[in-house]
Amino acid sequence: MLDNGTHPPGMTLPRTAWVRLNFLRTGVGRFRSCLYKWGTASSAACECGAEEQTVDHIVLQCPIHRPPYGLHGLTVLDDATIEWLLNTCPEIQCDPWVAEPFSKWEAQVNVKNL
């Protein structure tokens, strides 16, 4: 919750979109720059040809992955940006398990811990 008792924009989105939004907000996620730094990608380059695929590149510059209204859209969460988060946002921002309902993931974790 925010200091004024309200929720941050996007908190009511489906979990996958909420996680993607927070990856974009924090700059940490499955972006090629992070994957390269972690040793799980052979290059930090973006598909568009940019030398490094960072969150700033995706949000502000990328002709392939940029959200419809860039940073402003991610801040105010207009309809076009919500649609992008739900359907078009590249999978680089979302781990495969996030696409599953949280309760299913939680059940798998609990079974493994028995």
Q: Which of 69, 63, 57 is nearest to 93 (CA)?
A: 57
pLDDT of 9 reads: 84
DSSP string, 54-75: -HHIIIII-TTT--TTHHHHHH
Rounded CA separation 30/57 (Å): 13
Confidence of residue 15 (pLDDT cuts 50, 70, 90): confident
89 φψ region: left (φ > 0), alpha (ψ -120 to 50), beta (else)? beta
pLDDT in tens, 24-38: 888 877 888 888 988
**Predicted model pTM:** 0.67
Strand, helix or coil for residue 92:
helix
pLDDT of 110 reads: 41
pLDDT in tens, 58-103: 989 999 889 999 889 988 899 999 999 888 776 554 443 333 333 4
Q: Which residue has the higher pLDDT, 9 or 4?
A: 9
- Three-point CA angle 37, 41, 46, nearest 5°: 90
